[in-house]
Amino acid sequence: MGQKVRYDGRAKSSPTDDLNRWRDEGRLVIFCPEVAGGLPTPRLPAEIEPGFDGADVLAGRARVIDSEGGDVTDAFINGAKKTVTFAQSERCTHAVLTEASPSCGSALLYSGRHDGKQRGGFGVTTAALREAGVEVFAPDALPDVLRILAKTPI
């Protein structure tokens, strides 16, 4: 939604007329789990270890490692928990999250080897939100989400 919270300090945005109107109406909740978890902007890129996903991180079977080998797992788990708490306090039922992120990926992650390759999988925040009953979508599913939300009263 245009906030400069990406690991590289840039913004990623998917604004549409509906999203802009719904933001103005207070129907959107904008939140970055990585910043909420205590990570700075900018920060080193991080990836979930190869062969694992966000559910594995939450269960303690995998870690999130930055590009210099630092273990940033705790920040990702903390951010995921804060996201769920915030989503519940705002009565969120749907989330559109950035694809391939170790937090927000819903169908794609980076390989875990910091080689630029992608693989199937989902991030830590996605796993936590799904466990809490929030439907998670990638930005390419935005038209579907907009149709769902158009039927939802304010």
Question: 3-class DSSP state for residue 46?
Answer: strand
The DSSP element (H or E) to which 119 belongs, if any, is: strand 118-120
Residue corresponding to tokens 């769902």: 148
Cβ contact 108:119 at 8 Å: yes
Per-residue pLDDT, 143: 80
> Where do the DSSP E strands lie in 8-111?
46-48, 64-66, 94-96, 108-110
pLDDT per residue of the chain (154 residues) written in tens, 0 to 9:
677 888 888 877 666 676 677 778 877 788 999 999 999 999 999 999 999 999 999 999 999 999 999 999 999 999 999 999 999 999 998 898 989 999 999 999 999 999 999 999 999 999 999 999 999 998 888 788 778 777 766 5
Residues 6+ apart with CB under 8 A from 106: 97, 99, 122, 123, 126, 136, 137, 138
User: pLDDT (tens digit, 9 = 90+) per residue, 48-77?
Assistant: 999 999 999 999 999 999 999 999 999 999
47-83 burial, b if ≥16 CB within 10 A, otherwise e? bbbeebbbbbbbeeebbbbbeeeeebbebbbbbbbbb
pLDDT value of position 153: 65
Q: What is the pLDDT of residue 110?
A: 97
